[in-house]
Amino acid sequence: MECIKNEIYYHIQNSNSFNSLTNWSIGQTYFVGKNRNPFFGFFDSYGKGITDPNTSQIFSINYAASAMENYINTGKKDPAFANFYHFDSNRAVSELADTLNHYIRYVREILFEEVRKDFFPGYPSRQRGIWVIPNDCDITQAVNYWWSQLGAGNKKVFKVELTGKIHRSNQQYLTLRTDKLDVFRQEAFKYWVGVSGNTSIEDECLFEGFVTVLEEVNP
């Protein structure tokens, strides 16, 4: 982690419905680090479930999984699901995998923040900071890489001037897994220690502080 002043970076902004940081104007300065960022705030607003299109009732994925398991074993459809659920095993596995990843990601973020608070309290938070791309690499290559990682959405790339604190680390420590919680804590500690030696366009740069928006650039 280091403190920086008036340094140039790039930021990819994804204008999803849950992103409250989408009204940036060229020439304006914004403070980042006080409130939850869109990445973590997503968990407050979105869960995983199966919706009955006829009644709008939402069923939890674990309920759907139990109904699917019973259908496989007995051939009988759950009455609550009979009129709308697909009862397709491949789709059910996909739904379960998506749900599992969603909640493992949440657990990971809780534990990474726990380790940060306990051992690296002065570092920017993954729950409040934003991710930026450094100016010391092939910008086109780096932007293209992170653009593809962010998936769907109305994305924009901004050239920004930053003053605040920044932490650079390797995203290899963020792998989602169904492991004991202490493994997540070990990976979190490595993440917060940061990058030493060779850097990569795949490194994460996490920032809190003042962001001056210089211009929007073409990806």
Enter the pTM of the model. Answer: 0.89
**Count of C-beta atoms within a 10 Å radius of residue 93:** 12
Q: What is the per-residue pLDDT for 22?
A: 62
106 belongs to a structural domain: no
Question: 53 burial class (0-12, 13-18, 19+ CB within 10 angstroms)?
Answer: exposed
Pairing outcome for strands 58-60 and 49-51: antiparallel
167 belongs to a structural domain: yes
136 belongs to a structural domain: yes
90 belongs to a structural domain: no
97 belongs to a structural domain: no
Q: What is the CATH number of the domain that holds 20?
A: 3.20.170.10
Q: How many domains does the chain have?
A: 1
178 belongs to a structural domain: yes
- Condensed to tens digits (0 to 9), the pLDDT of residues 154-164 reads 889 999 999 99
How far apart, in whole angstroms, are the C-alpha atoms of residue 117 and residue 198? 27
- Three-state DSSP at 167 gives strand
Question: 58: which residues sit within 8 A by CB, 6+ positions away?
Answer: 49, 50, 51, 52
Longest dimension (CA), the chain: 66
55 belongs to a structural domain: no
- Condensed to tens digits (0 to 9), the pLDDT of residues 102-125 reads 999 999 999 999 999 999 999 999
How far apart, in whole angstroms, are the C-alpha atoms of residue 84 and residue 67? 13
The residue segments making up the domain with residue 29 are: 2-37+122-217
22 belongs to a structural domain: yes
